[in-house]
Amino acid sequence: MRSHEKLKISVLVSGGGTNLQSVIDHIESGYLDKAKIVRVISSNCDAFALKRAENHNIKGVCISKEMLPDPKERCAAIMKELEAAGTDLIILAGYMSILEPELIDRYRDKIVNIHPSLIPKYCGKGFYGRKVHAAVLAGNELASGATVHFVDEGVDTGKIILQEQVPVKPGDTPETLANRVLQIEHRILPEAIKMLCDGKLK
Ligand code: GRF
């Protein structure tokens, strides 16, 4: 990327896309003035995140397990989209699928994930969605939070970029805790992208 060019981001999603929306909003407000979203790729064709992309004139595509059951073929289709869009950085924002090693290798240190816990706690295989927050409550934790990290071949094992805590409050349910953590996610994901745009992370 030349210094005057914008960082081209592809966002991979599966659901509501509030983190995608936060990145869009931070680009539109000028906070992320060196970034642009070139693709939204969803593993779920009904994801509201695709609607959010459409609302902001961002090209969205669905590449689902139903369309392409073979993981290698699915990965090839995703990589084709990423290449066609000239992707510099991949953001996993609630993406509920595991990436194939060839994709991770091709975009080494250029894939970032947001996870709704304080990694290394409550992460890895099986810790997704409300399960993360239910486990935090079952563990009687006093705090939880969110983590932005690079993606490597493991599940939630890549180098941590940013992390922030929220309190767990008496009477919390997985939903109330998820909402509190989401507020943090919406702030630290754009912050991490800004650090990448500014070359503050190698
Ligand atoms: C977020 O909690 C994210 O950390 C997790 O999935 C959720 C996605 O939410 N990986 P949204 O689709 O961005 O609203």
Q: What is the mean pLDDT of the chain?
A: 96
Check if 115 is active-site: yes
Buried b (16+ CB within 10 A) or exposed e, 170-197: eebebeebbebbbebbbebbbebbbebb
Q: Is the CB of 123 under 6 A from ligand 1?
A: no
- The pLDDT value recorded for residue 5 is 87
Give whole-number Cα distances, 11 to 23, 104, 106, 165, 173, in Å: 9, 15, 16, 24, 29
Q: Is the CB of 114 under 6 A from ligand 1?
A: yes
- The pLDDT value recorded for residue 154 is 87
What's the CA-to-centroid distance between 3 and ligand 1, angstroms? 31
Q: Which of 4, 26, 56, 115 is catalytic?
A: 115
- The pLDDT value recorded for residue 100 is 95
List, for the chain, all residue ranges whose pLDDT scores fall below the cut of 70: 1-3, 202
Q: Which atom of ligand 1 is nearest to the CA of 47?
A: 12
Q: Quick one: CA dihedral 74, 99, 128, 126, positive or negative?
A: positive
- The pLDDT value recorded for residue 196 is 96
- The pLDDT value recorded for residue 202 is 64
Q: Is the CB of 174 under 6 A from ligand 1?
A: no
Q: Is the CB of 93 under 6 A from ligand 1?
A: yes
